[in-house]
Amino acid sequence: MIAIIDYDAGNLKSVEKALLHLGEEAIITRDREQLLQADKVILPGVGNFGDAMNKLHHYQLVSVIREIVDQKTPFLGICLGMQVLFESSDECKGVKGLSILEGDILRIPDSEGLKIPHMGWNSLTIQEGARLYRGIEQQAFVYFVHSYYLKACNSKDVVATTHYSTLIDASVERDNVYGCQFHPEKSGELGLQILKNFAHL
């Protein structure tokens, strides 16, 4: 059973649909016991860093997420769901993230000819041995929608990067915690393979 954390994020259903397409059992829930008993947990997210943290606090999910991570359940943050795993974001000064991983969420620098938000397909440079990317070739294209990006403190956490105006840490892995800045659920067959790899960890 893969639990998708329900905190009123916009892309819950598309993540659920992708998992069901793969034949996985998936549930959208904010119930503490269901989340703690799940085999895997996904935190999707689109929108504003501050709003996301407010809703996680409102639904008393912050402590639940920490418990899930502490009990070593595989945990995947997608897009904004990855960003809130870190300490803070330029998007909302003074709002604390979950601080499960160390790093800064910065605004993508303006660059002539590039639009922000970054919406589109970019290729990944993948680190050898990355668990989410088993069977996926270098420079595979995935779909991004974001104005802010991760600069991780620990380079060992970073398993995939891309370039859009600047070098972007596009994916992280540490122990049982995983993150994708891009949307695997919107990245075609390759994105489905990434979700399948997560489901089979």
Q: Where are the domains of the chain?
A: 2-199
- Residue-by-residue pLDDT tens, the chain, 201 positions: 999 999 998 789 999 999 999 999 999 999 999 999 999 999 999 889 999 999 999 999 999 999 999 999 999 999 999 999 999 999 999 999 999 999 999 999 999 999 999 999 999 999 999 999 999 999 999 999 999 999 999 999 999 999 999 999 999 999 999 999 999 999 999 999 999 999 999
Secondary structure element (H or E) that encloses residue 67, with its range: helix 62-70
185 is catalytic: yes
CA distance 129 to 55: 35
Per annotation, catalytic residue among 16, 24, 79, 146: 79
CA distance 72 to 61: 17
Per annotation, catalytic residue among 16, 24, 173, 185: 185
CA distance 83 to 98: 9
CATH 3.50.50.60 fits 2-199, yes or no: no
